[in-house]
Amino acid sequence: MSQQRRVAIVTGSARGIGAAVAQRLAVDGNAVAVLDLDEAACAGTVDAIKAAGGEAIAVGANVADEESVAAAVEKIATELGAPTILVNNAGIIRDNMLFKMSVDDWDSVLAVHLRGAFLMARACQKHMVDAKFGRIVNLSSTSALGNRGQANYSAAKAGMQGFTKTLAIELGKFGVTANAIAPGFIETDMTAATAARVGVPYEDFKKGAASQIPVNRVGQPEDIAHTASFFASEGAGFVSGQVVYVAGGPKD
């Protein structure tokens, strides 16, 4: 359990990894802002948190839009309190081979992942600095190491690691840590979409992935939530600028 109630924001938390992280942070004793593009879509996560005795609100925001982010963070600070935990999870995929990838597909992915993380971190850091405590957790991916058909997504997720390390350097003296989680194959709507793109039944896709993973299974959103919980904890204050591959085995 957290040593005290803190306010956490989890972006892209209407479902999947984000929803699991939001629920885990609530179990840890934090009040959670469940943020996604569509506020109504956040209801399921908010209801699950409240049903378990936690505190949460739904917030609709476009993380790639500066004004939308500013309004969202202000709303959260007013309704829940100053946010001192931020999990930048919001993301989209627009997969294609380089010669087929449009400029819009490139820009959209970079905007949601990197611009979104930048805008959210910039808006929240002042609250963290004032509190002399902050935890920023950014979602990278094993795709940061390169992945066929994902030039945009791979670039964004690699960029997230450099962004994380820089935040750790700049904000450390204010009691703020920044770390990144790089998931491997996690069973979500996003990996289901990838299977559909390559024309493989999802169950077969998962079995094929599991056969290449040392622990012999694909990951679940809760696997990422456990790691996010550690990074967000008070006990992780001497861990910063790190990238942890939560992938069921070693990654280079």
Domain CATH for 117: 3.40.50.720
> Cα dihedral sign for 63, 67, 68, 69?
positive
E strand intervals along the chain: 7-11, 31-36, 55-60, 83-88, 134-139, 176-183, 243-246
Q: Provide the pLDDT for residue 96.
A: 94
pLDDT, block means (10 residues), the chain with 252 residues? 83 98 98 98 98 98 98 98 98 96 98 98 98 98 96 98 98 98 95 90 96 98 98 97 98 83
Are 141 and 232 part of one and the same domain? yes
Are 159 and 194 part of one and the same domain? no
Are 163 and 123 part of one and the same domain? yes
- 156 φ, ψ (degrees, to nearest 5): -65, -45
Q: Is 249 inside any structural domain?
A: no
Both tokens assigned to 225: 């939530």
Q: Which one from 106, 118, 153, 205 is the annotated catalytic residue?
A: 153
Q: Is 208 inside any structural domain?
A: yes
Q: Is 146 inside any structural domain?
A: yes
Are 200 and 91 part of one and the same domain? no
Structural domain total, the chain? 2
Both tokens assigned to 58: 């739904």
Give 243's strand partners.
180
Both tokens assigned to 181: 């989680």
Residue 202 is a catalytic residue: no
Are 157 and 175 part of one and the same domain? yes
Number of alpha helices (DSSP H) and beta strands (DSSP E) in the chain: 9, 7
Are 200 and 238 part of one and the same domain? no
Longest CA–CA span in the chain (Å) reads: 52
Are 151 and 198 part of one and the same domain? no
Q: Provide the pLDDT for residue 1.
A: 47
Are 195 and 104 part of one and the same domain? no
Q: Is 18 inside any structural domain?
A: yes
Q: Is 250 inside any structural domain?
A: no
Are 211 and 228 part of one and the same domain? no
Q: Is 210 inside any structural domain?
A: yes
Rounded distance between C-alpha atoms, residue 211 and residue 213, angstroms = 6
Rounded distance between C-alpha atoms, residue 98 and residue 146, angstroms = 13
Are 213 and 147 part of one and the same domain? no
Q: Is 140 inside any structural domain?
A: yes
- What domain range is 26 assigned to? 5-183+220-244
Both tokens assigned to 189: 């709507």
Q: Is 47 inside any structural domain?
A: yes
Q: Provide the pLDDT for residue 2.
A: 46
Are 171 and 202 part of one and the same domain? no
Are 110 and 228 part of one and the same domain? yes
User: Is-contact 159 114, C-beta < 8 A?
Assistant: yes
